[in-house]
Structure 1
Amino acid sequence: MRWSLDQLEVLIACAERGSFSSAARHLGRAQSAVSTAIAHLEADLGCLLFDRTGRLPRLTEEGKALLHEARAVIRQCQRLESRARAIALGEEAQLVLAIDEALVEMPPVDETLEALARHYPALQLTLLYGAQGDIAGWVEDRTADLGILLRQQGQGPVLEGIRIAHLQQVLVVGRDHPLAGHPAPTAGDLADHRQLLIASRTEVDAGATLSAQFWCLNSFYSMGELATRGLGWALVPQHIAQYPPFREDLVELAGEALGRPPVIEVETVSRRDAAQGPIARWLRQTLGERFRDRRQR
């Protein structure tokens, strides 16, 4: 192989500019240098890239096919250079981010991922979405570098959680549930009906149990689905109650029986013994800013 990246760049310029002279002006070279580069590339590849019989050179069929490959090679080289610069600056070359499925379609999370793609284009990102409890477990066993989840009990001694936001929770039941006729149920009313609880990785949070009848789930979206079917009442983040598939089938009840309007914290988790690089730190900071901006609107 004797062809060079410079020759591929000349090929792309000639194809995009429509002529050797225009490509030469774009590249800041003499037209003869461009013509020579194309001739050498054709000799190295063993095929004719341009038909020169007309007033302007036209790509041959072979030229069109190899132009696609040339662009792919140049893009890969650009990615290599970008990745090398990132590594030289101390940025992570790759990152595994685990996200609680309850935060899917949350604007602050989606906006942060969009900003991540713009700011760190060379990053090789793996996204893992899991139910409640999966996220902390993946970080703990080093499957993921950083987790974003709704706070829960029993995360284990090796994990460090940092709160970045909190979400308002609401009390919901299905439209056909008996409690739907009690817009402000008492604690006794709630105790008479099945409660749907979010499950910790290790145990049920006794302080959250108001009814002797309860089912435990590891997914807020599953809780919302079961609530729409009349299988119990539940406390869910407000965005879950407003999720389009649930919105028409859930009734929000006043939560005076539960005391202060309950909130649930959003936090990031990482291992205490794992150093966080600049991209992970940027992610944590940006997520917090996006959630604060959303709350202030």
Structure 2
Amino acid sequence: MDKLSALKMFVATAEHGSFSRAAQQLGKTPSALTKAVSHLEAELGARLFERSTRRTLLTEVGRLYLETARQVLQRLQEVNEEILQLQHGLQGSLKITAPLAFGRAFLDEACASFLDEYPQISLHIDLCDEFVDLLESGYDLALREGHDDLPGQIARVVGNNRLALCASPDYLARNPAPVTPQTLDQHHWLLYHHADLSREFWWVERDGQRLSLPQPSRPRLKSDNYDLLLAGALAGCGLLHTPLWSAAPYLADGRLVRLMADYEIDPDAFGSHILAVYPSHRRATAKVAAFIDFISAFLRQRGLS
């Protein structure tokens, strides 16, 4: 019995919870999968599944073996891809997750440019603001804000996450009160709502002096969707704390104006960096390294690193 094929059939059975469903997915017969798993059990001297007429469940030994089997199959796939890349250039697919706001701000343009430079690589990009466990989800790479000290992951800084206070020229024309630490309560605010962010105050610094400024208690618009708030700021609805990676093109073309620019705003709970993160048990394959280098250079060219 081919050990590699047996491992694939074992993993498929564990993931589907059924020999018949796994066999259908692999294009094999249930008896072939049963024989493969039995071969592994005989080799180990322990049962991998508890079988009954209604269900197939992993034993404690099976759960331990499954984790290692997945890693072995994943590493073999990566090695095969690396060998192909050495022989034929970078190719294959990359599965990436990133925050929603990255898409509109820079990732859409960066991905298009990357695909143009690497025509044999395909991208699968999922944008979501929920935390994604890279060890369980099958993603090759995550782009994230802030810091990442989770075990089993490697993080590389690819850009900065500095904050700016911005508003549109239309809003400022209709609300001529100066924007200073003393007049913030005289203005309309657009507030990003997130469980990890403080709802009480934010810190700024100028000439070595730090100030704690209260968050607006009654914002004009509050949302957990940053793109909605950015659209509101561009439409003249109020002041918005925004990352410079998002505001940069609108500051450049005049659709937004930076306020209190002589104050350095402390990074929020997301931290001061944009990170590329991948599981430490997978080496940075050539295609992953190429994407990280590309996005880092892309952000650096725009003054965002």
Distance 1:117 1:288 in 2: 17
Q: Once the 2 structures are TM-superposed, how far is the Cα of residue 237 of structure 1 from its aligned partner?
A: 3.1
Q: Which residue of the partner structure matches residue 213 of structure 1?
A: 218
1:18-57 mapped onto 2 (5 Å cutoff): none
Instruction: State yes or no: 1:147 paired with 2:120.
Output: no
Structure 1 equivalent of residue 103 of structure 2: 104
Pairing 1:173–2:178 present = no
Percent identical across equivalent pairs?
A: 13
Q: What are the ranges of 5 or more consecutive residues in structure 1 without an aligned counterpart?
A: 1-81
Provide Cα deviations, 1:125-182, integer angstroms capped at 9, x if missing partner. 212233xx24x42646425321224x14788555543221125543123534798413
Determine the structure 2 residue equivalent to 1:186: 180
Alignment of 1:69-108 (within 5 A): 85-86=84-85, 93-104=92-103
Q: What is the distance in 1 between the residues matched to 2:240 and 2:189? A: 6
Tell me: CA distance 1:284–1:235, structure 2 relative to 1, closer, same or farther (3 Å).
same
Q: Tell me, in whole angstroms, the C-alpha distance in 2 between the residues paired with 1:251 and 1:142.
A: 40
Instruction: Tell me: CA distance 1:182–1:290, structure 2 relative to 1, closer, same or farther (3 Å).
Output: same
How far 1:284 sits from its partner (Å)? Answer: 0.9
Question: Aligned partners of 2:149 and 2:236: how far apart in 1?
Answer: 31
- Partner AA of 1:144 in structure 2: Y
Report how far residue 194 of structure 1 moved. Answer: 5.5
Aligned to 1:260: 264
Over 3 Å counting, the alpha-carbon distance change for 1:252 and 1:182 in structure 2 is farther
- Residues of 2 paired with 1:84 and 1:169: CA distance? 43
1:161/1:197 CA distance change after superposition, 3 Å:
farther
Give distance in 2, aligned partners of 1:91 and 1:248. Answer: 40
Give, in angstroms, the shift of residue 294 of structure 1.
3.0
What is the aligned partner in structure 1 of residue 197 from structure 2?
Answer: 204
Shift of 1:96: 0.6
Matches within 5 A, 1:216-235: 217-228=223-234, 231-235=237-241
Larger Rg: 1
TM-score of the superposition, structure 1-length normalised?
0.51
Distance (Å, rounded) in 1 between the aligned partners of 2:114 and 2:303: 19
Q: 1:173 to 1:280 in 2, by over 3 A?
A: same
Residue of structure 2 in register with 1:282 after alignment: 290
Normalising by structure 2, report the TM-score: 0.50
Matched length: 205
Secondary structure in 1 aligned to 2:183? Answer: helix
SS state at 2:296 partner: helix
Q: Secondary structure at the match of 1:182?
A: coil
2:125 matched to which residue of 1? 127
Do 1:255 and 1:261's aligned partners in 2 also have CA atoms closer than 8 Å? no
Provide the rounded CA distance (Å) in 2 between the counterparts of 1:240 and 1:180: 24
Partner Cα separation in structure 2 for residue 203 and residue 167 of structure 1: 16
Cα separation, partners in 2 of 1:126 and 1:221, compared to 1, 3 Å: same
* CA displacement at 1:260 relative to structure 2: 1.5
Per-residue CA distance 1:2-60 (angstroms, 9 max, x = gap): xxxxxxxxxxxxxxxxxxxxxxxxxxxxxxxxxxxxxxxxxxxxxxxxxxxxxxxxxxx
Q: Distance in 2 between matches of 1:194 and 1:160?
A: 41
Rate the CA distance shift 1:159–1:177 in 2: closer, same or farther, 3 A: farther
